[in-house]
Amino acid sequence: MTGEPASRQPAPRREVVTGEPRRVRPLPRYRAQAEIEEQTALGDAYVRSLMRSQLRAGLTAFALLALVAGTLPLAFATLRDATAVWVVLGFAAYPLLTLLAWWYVRRAERNERDFARLVKGRPVP
Amino acid sequence: MSQSYTVTAVTVVVLATVLVGGFGLRISRTTSDFYVASRTVRPALNAAAISGEYLSAASFLGVAGLVLLHGPDMLWYPVGYTAGYLVLLIFVAAPLRRSGAYTLPDFAEGRLESRAVRRLVSVFVVGAGWLYLVPQLQGAGLTLKILTGAPDWFGGVLVALVVVVAVAAGGMRSITFVQAFQYWLKLTALLVPALFLLLAWQGDGRPRVDLDLTAAVVGRADHPLYATYGLIVATFLGTMGLPHVVVRFYTSPNGRAARRTTVIVLALIGAFYLLPPVYGALGRLYVPELPYGTDADAAVLLLPERAIGGLGGDLLGALVAGGAFAAFLSTASGLTMAVAGVLTQDVLPSRGVRHFRLATPLAMAVPLGGSLLVSGMPVADSVGMAFAVSASSFCPLLVLGIWWRRLTPPGAIAGLLLGGGLAFAATVITVSGAVRSGWPHALLAWPAVWSVPVGFLAMILVSLATRGRIPPGTNAAMTRFHLPEVLMSGSRKGSASVSAAGPGEGTGSGTGMGGAG
Amino acid sequence: MSGAALAVLIVLGPLLLAGGFVLGRRTARPERNSDVGTPVERATFETLHTASLAAPPLRAGLTEESARKAARRLRSLLGTDALCLTDRERVLAWDGSGEHHDKQVMAQVEGLLASGRGTAFASGCGDLDCPLRWGVAVPLTVDHRVLGTLVAYAPRESAVLARAAGEVARWVSVQLELAELDRSRTRLIEAEIKALRAQISPHFIFNSLAAIASFVRTDPGRARELLLEFADFTRYSFRRHGDFTTLADELHSIDQYLALVRARFGERLSVTLQVAPEVLPVAMPFLCLQPLVENAVKHGLEGAVTTSRITISALDAGAEAEVVIEDDGVGMEPDRLRRILRGEGGASTGIGLLNVDERLRQVYGDEYGLVIETGVGAGTKITVRIPKYRAGVHGT
């Protein structure tokens, strides 16, 4: 896949060239952290409150899922109604899961929007 | 027999995979349309790719086989495979993408700043990947045996070879398009025959399908209720740790896109999983004589010929066979890529593409050996074990790593070793067949119910006992995980964001390139 | 009190004292073969331990916070009633009693700060209950500069304390010197990075503006577009935030660069970009590809009479992204290229290549240096490998 024109005769040859090992140590970690620090200046408290609101949204969705998934097998075992199992697990479950996911994403994105507004509304440090 | 059609379909799928992998389906563009067109992978395309890679032999063949054999309780498998993505979305998707990690070991190192944790996670990634690869190869062997009468081992070896060649030769370039295509192929390969099957069933005067629980051919477990719960815990919490799933999230341009992608994945996978139960139910009607054990997995493959017959049945059967092979190949290549990547980076000495090529056969050899040694296990069941290991090790690591500031490296190690290690040990004992009945068997075959809490507890308790070891960069990492992209690019890009900040500021300029637009 | 009782007391007192003394010596006598160490050894260990505890805060340099943490340890090291650390302007930390003295400290060490020689003084405290009657001040020096002082107080004059304070100050000075060393090393690396950041050549700016100017009359719309590209491109190249970017941003910047170059050379340059979208989010060092593309453009235009082809591809290679920049231009003499990569190429040539090679090695390690395939008249192919993840490398 060399892009040489065939007209050039004889075809010049390429050699592989690399720099010599410099035994450089990769940059120390703290440099990268200093960079992130710029963002941390936004304030730990702010990030914590964002995390709390996101976790609340997540736990709400998860609790709903866990509650349903936790009780359904028991319900099936006591009902012993095969058609119900087919209807619930074979069809109804998927749209419900997708809806729950959609609800969560909306809520999580709203949290982030509110947070961004909150942070941007504050005087620049 | 429909052998020639089947062989053709399988050959086409195999050849396409090799060619696409080897030569690389490259997207060539001139500079002018580069910026507009290739602003990273769109969520819908990425979602189709994730689904294509995720829907494995267990989904394509295994689910229908289990439903056929053991009744509707087995529908928890596809529900669990889907719900796993919901849990992943809720706790992991966006922060994981924002962490910038490509693999789970990357995440562990970035979050906990410890090489030791990184290495341990690598071992588990390789272990879980291998566990997941075994059933893919077994499924391939079974498929070819049923359809062409080839010996048991042939299909597995064929898939292993194809994947190794494709991955090692080209690193499966531009894999997103291939995988996305595989999803639609798999969906078509199940959907079209299913429609014809339903028509045939209609034409037969709608014989009653025996849906009853009591009709189960054989008892599946001594403690079915416990097994169901074990299955639910493993699949709900295990999806987030599967190596080929995690790697795909890197392709999303940012956390927000990762979240949206996951919702689409849920919809796509959900749509697919409406089909296998149809095969399972009709299978009870048309292939009731299917022998016990793994061969029930062949129900999907045999149904078109039995229910429809003739040339149409043969062609539909060939379509299903092609889809099944697409399933083996896509999942197996995704897993092999992920495992080989971890092997080169963290297990084998030194780095480089050449080593990646060396690692690929190794990544495939072990599960191939495993699949030849251990046979006689339903495909979906062995996949369930990979989920259990993942749920007991990676789930605590990811969830606590993303949401809990007090996690320490010793805590993570303790949780991985206890939770993941015990689940792994239980798997090994089950596969070895040392314990075959009663509560001990149930507990070992579906370990997630106890091993997941053990993993979480160990991580939390040991972390609390080693407060002094909280990594210094924890707060910075948390900020990176959770801060919305709007703020990230805004604070960093400085003057660049001035030009990007149009009237729709705050909703639009999320992507890395958007900020500079 | 009777005389007899007094006599008994006089006789018994010394006797009791003597007995107590003997008993005390007996119990305190060092046990030579003890495994747990003699009291002297134990005291040494304690001193060493205290000193080791005081060292980490001092390694951060002499600040209010580090002084506060260190002062506590240093005071217990010296066993004094009060200890004070100052820099050249003010009191940084006071540990122990009598904090009301801190107002006078700076006046008392004024001479010391000028001369760099230790001094002792009577505290001259008006409060008669205050135990701090005497103080000794010693300099903390780094590179012969007096950075601050250490002041120790005692109830009365004490040569032992004066000597001990001198030794402790010397030890603190060594720690501060190490801190200074740490800091200058960091500064050095940062300065290096800043210097390493590719500079856009003045030629390019001049040529671009000239090309844009040529369109102003003939095609004002195009001129405006190009000017915007130019503004965007320079803004990106001159940005000051962060050392890292994403491959997407970098490629975008290259796209703008090429648009500007094409404005000048038009059809003589044919560029193909092949980008696997999977690798666009990869984080990488800022401005690592642009100099390579600039190189390819230069080589391509140098010799070719006809169209020069440049191919830029970014591929997904497992845990890495692989960027290949290839041109069919004049190529380079391998030996000369080797010299350039060794840093012996002279001032003007190949600075961009060397610069990129060094930065890649610095960030990712030696195995991620540039791989260049070239020969005279054979074109050039440069391969850059970028790990998809490296701790500490986060692009935005």
Q: Which residues of B touch A47 (CB under 8 A)?
A: 475, 478-479, 482-483
Nearest-Cα distance to chain A for C331, in Å, is 9
* DSSP letters for C351-389: HHHHHHHHHHHHHH-GGGS-EEEE-TTS-EEEEEEEES-
The residue-averaged pLDDT of C48-68 equals: 83
Least confident interval from A42-46, B150-154, B155-159, B423-427 = A42-46
- A27, C394: Cβ pair inside 8 Å? no
Asked if B459 and B412 count as a contact pair (C-beta separation under 8 A), the reply is yes
Q: How confident is the model at residue B29 (pLDDT cuts 50, 70, 90)?
A: very low
The larger pLDDT score, comparing residue B503 to residue C194, is at: C194
Give yes or no for B212 touching A (CB within 8 A).
yes
Residue type, C86: T
Output the pLDDT for position B80: 94
Q: What is the per-residue pLDDT across B468-485, written as a single tens digit (0 to 9) for each?
A: 888 888 888 888 899 888
Q: Which residues 62-121 of A have a C-beta within 8 angstroms of B?
A: 62, 65, 69-70, 73-74, 76-77, 80, 82-83, 85-86, 89-91, 93-95, 97-98, 100-102, 104-105, 108-109, 112-113, 115-117, 119-120
Instruction: Decide if B207 is inside a domain.
Output: yes
**CATH number for the domain running over C197-387:** 3.30.565.10
The residue-averaged pLDDT of B211-215 equals: 50
Counting Cα atoms < 13 Å in the Cβ hemisphere of C309 gives 12
Q: Which residues of C touch A17 (CB under 8 A)?
A: 334, 337-338, 341, 371-374
Domain count, chain A: 1
pLDDT over 90 percentage in chain B:
27
Q: How confident is the model at residue C192 (pLDDT cuts 50, 70, 90)?
A: low
**Which DSSP helix (H) or strand (E) runs through C190?**
helix C159-196
Q: Which residues 275-304 of B have a C-beta within 8 angstroms of A?
A: 277, 281
Question: In this predicted complex, what is the ipTM?
Answer: 0.85
- B483, A83: Cβ pair inside 8 Å? no
Q: Which CATH class is domain C43-194?
A: alpha beta
Q: What is the per-residue pLDDT across B83-111, written as a single tens digit (0 to 9) for each?
A: 999 999 999 999 999 998 888 999 999 99
Q: Which of B75-89, B305-319, B495-509, C254-268 has the highest mean pLDDT?
A: B75-89
Q: Which residues of C touch B350 (CB under 8 A)?
A: 367
Output the pLDDT for position C316: 80
- A90, B73: Cβ pair inside 8 Å? no
Q: What is the CATH number of the domain that holds B249?
A: 1.20.1730.10
Instruction: Decide if A59 is inside a domain.
Output: yes
Q: Which residues of B touch C318 (CB under 8 A)?
A: 171, 337, 340-341, 344, 353, 356
Give yes or no for B90 touching A (CB within 8 A).
yes
**What residue segments make up the domains of chain C, in order of their start?**
43-194, 197-387
Against chain B, the chains showing at least 3 CB pairs within 8 Å are A, C
Nearest CB partner across the interface for C389, out of B31, B100, B356: B100
Instruction: Decide if B480 is inside a domain.
Output: no
Least confident interval from B120-129, B396-405, C218-227, C230-239 = C230-239
Q: Which residues of B touch A102 (CB under 8 A)?
A: 263
Asked if B104 and B243 count as a contact pair (C-beta separation under 8 A), the reply is yes
Give yes or no for A55 touching B (CB within 8 A).
yes
Where in C295-356 does DSSP place strands (E)?
308-317, 320-327
Nearest CB partner across the interface for B266, out of A36, A80, A101: A101
Least confident interval from B184-188, B208-212, B357-361, C240-244 = B208-212
Nearest CB partner across the interface for C281, out of B27, B250, B341: B250
Give yes or no for A20 touching C (CB within 8 A).
yes
The residue-averaged pLDDT of B387-405 equals: 95
The residue-averaged pLDDT of A95-105 equals: 95
- C241, B492: Cβ pair inside 8 Å? yes
Average pLDDT, chain B: 79
N-term to C-term CA, chain B:
60
Q: How confident is the model at residue A65 (pLDDT cuts 50, 70, 90)?
A: very high
- B79, A55: Cβ pair inside 8 Å? no
Nearest-Cα distance to chain C for B124, in Å, is 18
Strand C269-275 relative to strand C308-317, pairing: parallel
**Surface-to-core class of residue B271, CB atoms within 10 Å of its CB (0-12 exposed, 13-18 middle, 19+ buried):** middle
Distance in angstroms (rounded) separating the CA atoms of residues B204 and B308 = 10
Most C CBs within 10 Å: which of B25, B29, B31, as the mutation test of the C interface? B31
Q: Which of B284-288, C210-214, C235-239 has the highest mean pLDDT?
A: C210-214
Spatial CA neighbour of B492 closest among C244, C281, C389:
C244
Nearest CB partner across the interface for C378, out of A12, A27, A33: A12
Spatial CA neighbour of B87 closest among A119, A97, C212, C372:
A97
Give the chain C residue nearest B108 (alpha carbons).
C391
Q: Which residues of A touch C387 (CB under 8 A)?
A: none
Against chain C, the chains showing at least 3 CB pairs within 8 Å are A, B
Q: State the residue range of the domain holding B132.
A: 3-24+40-377
Output the pLDDT for position B118: 92
Q: Which residues of C touch B337 (CB under 8 A)?
A: 318
Give yes or no for A54 touching B (CB within 8 A).
yes
Counting Cα atoms < 13 Å in the Cβ hemisphere of B196 gives 22
Most A CBs within 10 Å: which of B487, B493, B497, as the mutation test of the A interface? B487
Q: Which residues of A touch B211 (CB under 8 A)?
A: 82-83, 86
Least confident interval from A41-50, B367-376, C190-199 = C190-199
Q: How confident is the model at residue B378 (pLDDT cuts 50, 70, 90)?
A: low
Q: State the residue range of the domain holding A96.
A: 43-120
- C241, B345: Cβ pair inside 8 Å? no
Distance in angstroms (rounded) separating the CA atoms of residues B139 and B380 = 10
Most A CBs within 10 Å: which of B483, B486, B488, B491, as the mutation test of the A interface? B483
Domain count, chain B: 1
The answer to whether residue B216 scores a pLDDT higher than 50 is: no
Nearest CB partner across the interface for B473, out of A33, A55, A70: A33
Q: What is the per-residue pLDDT across B31-58, written as a single tens digit (0 to 9) for each?
A: 444 443 445 678 888 899 899 989 887 7
* DSSP letters for B291-358: PSGGGGGGHHHHHIIIII-HHHHHHHHHHHHHHHHHHHHHHHHHHHHHHHHHIIIIISSS-SHHHHHH
Distance in angstroms (rounded) separating the CA atoms of residues B513 and C280 = 9
Most B CBs within 10 Å: which of A54, A62, A64, as the mutation test of the B interface? A54
Spatial CA neighbour of A22 closest among B350, C373, C368:
C368
Output the pLDDT for position C276: 79
Distance in angstroms (rounded) separating the CA atoms of residues A122 and A114 = 13
Q: Which residues of C touch A1 (CB under 8 A)?
A: 326
Cβ contacts from A onto B, under 8 A = 148
